[in-house]
Structure 1
Amino acid sequence: MPSKNFILLSLLLIFANSVEALPLDKIKLPQGFSIEMYAENIENARQMALGDNGTVFVGSRKAGNVYALIDSNNDFKAESKIIVASNLFMPSGLAFHDGSLYVAEVDKIWRYPNIEKTLPQIPTPELVYSKLPNISHHGWKFITFGPDGKLYIPVGAPCNICESELPFASILKLDLETKQTVIVAKGVRNSVGFDFHPQTGELWFTDNGRDMMGDNLPDDELNRVTQPGQHFGFPYIHNTNIADPEYRNVQIANLNTPPVLTLGAHVAALGMMFYQGQQFPESYQNTILIAQHGSWNRSNKVGYRLMLVVLDNNQVKSYKPFATGWLQGEESWGRPVDIMMLDDGSILVSDDFADAIYRISYDKS
């Protein structure tokens, strides 16, 4: 069960205790775009979820907390932070659906019913599902509801590279009524971000490539599910045709679905989102924004940025930086994790290294 300590809420002024302002002037964006702080001191901020009344819910991994951020005067800066839950098992993944907040621990899914109606009081959480593996290696989650009303949940591989039984290295969907799960994608090493194409409804997801094959192999991937149960190669084939040096299975390797786009080795591609707002220029409609958390075991650091993927009939037309500057030389001061759109069409970006939430907006003038 979640710790009872979460009942002891703390409504805190987020900006009052800021130790040092983050260097947002170093972030480079396309002309007309700007970045500002939405919230600070959000320890280890990971996936975000937007409530019907505008509450921004934020999960964490190392901190073990779930937060609710409230912008009471609609100035796009959160004035208060409520600790919804604490001492959870890597509660990185969140989703908001039909008035309830869903929180994914490594091995459990919880529901906080009608939470916005009760805040600052926290509703008693309900255990939704408890049959997920309890292994922490790649065990933290990114969750979201699909167009079919099912909850989509990744189960990462319990290793850097290994053979494992399902549901490891997969993305599954959970029927909340029957508690039955279906495997949507196999051979997925570690997906911590996905979204559904606004026109086709297909699932697109990022996947982190394995480590210890050198600085430049293999790439992280952007993938597209066109058939239920497709195999995406792990651990036998990486990217389109890079055979793993340790694990071989020709039969399964031949099932590999090549990525739509290779994203670069060790960039740690996490949250992704199809942009569907009205604030950005028309050319951004249905483009993909990807948060790259940044490398940890490469000779020279890469990632630490937001990337933009432009599509033309589901084919990649271009792949280029959208927001850069969290990496300065070999020193990084921030690591983007997740991207979420607000109702006005601006986007929020979480940062688990700088403990921050940023807002990126576009000035049409």
Structure 2
Amino acid sequence: MCTEIRPVFHRLALCAARWAGRLCVCVSLLSFAGVSLFHGPATAQDLSDRTTKTKSLLTGEAGYRLAVFAEIPNARSIAVAPELKGVFVGTRGPNLYFARDDNGDGVAETVNLIGDDFKMANGIAYQPGTLFVADQHRIVSYDLDGFDGKTLGRPRILFTNLPDERHHGWRYAALSPDGARLFVAVGAPCNICKVSGLEGTIISIPTTGGAPKVYASGIRNSVGLTFHPDTNELWFTDNGGDRLGDDIPREELNRASEPGGFYGYPWYAGNDTRSPQFDDEEIAGDTIFPEFTFNAHNAPLGLTFDDGDALVALHGSWNRTIPDGYKVMRVEFRDGKAVTANPFLTGFLRSNGEVIGRPVDVKHYVDGSILISDDHASVIWRMVPDG
């Protein structure tokens, strides 16, 4: 494959060309002002008009300045690969990208489409030498020995029997602190319903492949999980049920201090709100309630820990009378407890109701800055600490 996507474009235009005797699809993205073909290293001046305008409307936490790492269509999950001088970026679709920052200045010089045959390339994780992809129906890995930043080799099949349902079928993945196991969130294939098998769980499998173990259950749809850098405990977000009202159920930030925990779904639609379908049923076993909650329909997704706090991306509501969310929040901790949340990056929802961005994932970059993916604006934002 020779598909290359520069981080300066926004709309797809397909052209067919022959290269090395094979049909190659060259994808270029169009700016709002017209066709913009850029052939040199990326700089701040190369950003599309739309991204430049969006950036000017966003407000970050004091002590940070906002920059742009790359423009990538439908950018979602992020996996930073320092040894490869770049970042893997998944999407809620067939495409997987690699954004290369060769000179380490925090701006991707090139963005390459390295895979386009996934059902849902949302769940990705990286450790030196290996890329893991949790697709809708299976989990695979790629040996990155000799990776040129443009083409993945053949996948190694790690597990093939994930529930093959598109509803909540976009996975999220993270590696255990020792790098021995891959943790994958498996959503429930519905709004609120009773689940079976691996549905509504977080599973783990050996990074070499094998049968999964259920680490946590009773989870509606987690699209963000990470391990605490000090305690090695698993923390994850969970989205509450829809169509129960503007203000219920509150959405969750959970801690899984040990395997085997049950987190309430579907008997709880989210937090302590009972699901109407099952509110007359007794719940077998103990339910673990969230450590912290967000407003209903805020859709908390990716998260990372930062100086003892948690940075959480709120993707934003889609079925609330007055839209809410659309920001990145800093959840402050005191004595190991989440106590309050303050804005880290805002402005994605304008006062007139216009949505100009929807944050998805949050990851630390190699230089100490923080990357934030945005699948609405198709951008990887970069929050750079002063100094």
TM-score (norm 2): 0.85
Contact 1:274 1:288 in 2 (8 A): yes
Q: Distance between the aligned counterparts of 1:169 and 1:138, measured in 2?
A: 10
Pick from 83, 92, 102 the counterpart of residue 72 of structure 1: 102
1:99–1:177 Cα change, 3 Å: closer
d(CA) in 2 for partners of 1:130, 1:358: 34
Q: Establish whether residue 167 from structure 1 lines up as the match of residue 198 from structure 2.
A: yes
1:57 to 2:88 alignment: yes
Counting only pairs closer than 5 Å after superposition, residues 343-362 of structure 1 correspond to structure 2 as 343-362=366-385
Q: CA deviation at 1:177?
A: 3.6
Please tell me whether the aligned partners of residues 169 and 186 of structure 2 are also in contact (alpha carbons under 8 angstroms): yes
- List 4+ stretches of structure 1 deviating above 4 A: none
SS at match of 2:332: strand
Please state if 1:261 is matched with 2:283: no
Match of 1:14 among 7, 19, 26: 7
Q: CA deviation at 1:240?
A: 4.6
Structure-to-structure mapping, 1:332-351, within 5 angstroms? 332-351=355-374
Structure 2 counterpart of 1:305 = 327
Q: 1:351: how far off?
A: 0.7
Residues 1-365 of structure 1: matches in 2 within 5 Å?
7=1, 9-15=2-8, 17-19=30-32, 20-22=49-51, 23-40=54-71, 42-51=72-81, 52-62=83-93, 64-114=94-144, 117-148=147-178, 149-177=180-208, 179-248=210-279, 250-252=281-283, 255-275=286-306, 285-329=307-351, 330-364=353-387
Structure 1 distance, partners of 2:85, 2:174, is 17
What TM-score do the two structures reach when normalised by structure 1? Answer: 0.90
Deviation at 1:103, TM superposition (A): 1.3
5+ residue gaps, structure 2, are 10-29, 33-48
Q: Deviations over 1:199-239 (max 9, x none)?
A: 11110100000001000000110000123111100111244
State the one-letter code of the partner of 1:46. Answer: R
Is the partner of 2:56 in helix, strand or coil? helix
C-alpha distance in structure 2 between counterparts of 1:119 and 1:53, whole Å:
8
Tell me how far 1:30 sits from its aligned partner.
2.1
Unaligned runs of 5+ in 1: 1-6, 276-284
Which amino acid letter does the alignment assign opposite residue 290 of structure 1?
Answer: V
* 1:20-52 CA distance string (max 9 Å, x none): 332212111122211111111x11111010112
Percent identity reads 36
Q: Secondary structure at the match of 1:246?
A: helix
- Give the aligned CA root-mean-square deviation in angstroms: 1.7
Matched to 2:69, the amino acid is Y
1:90·1:105 contact (CA, 8 Å) conserved in 2?
Answer: yes
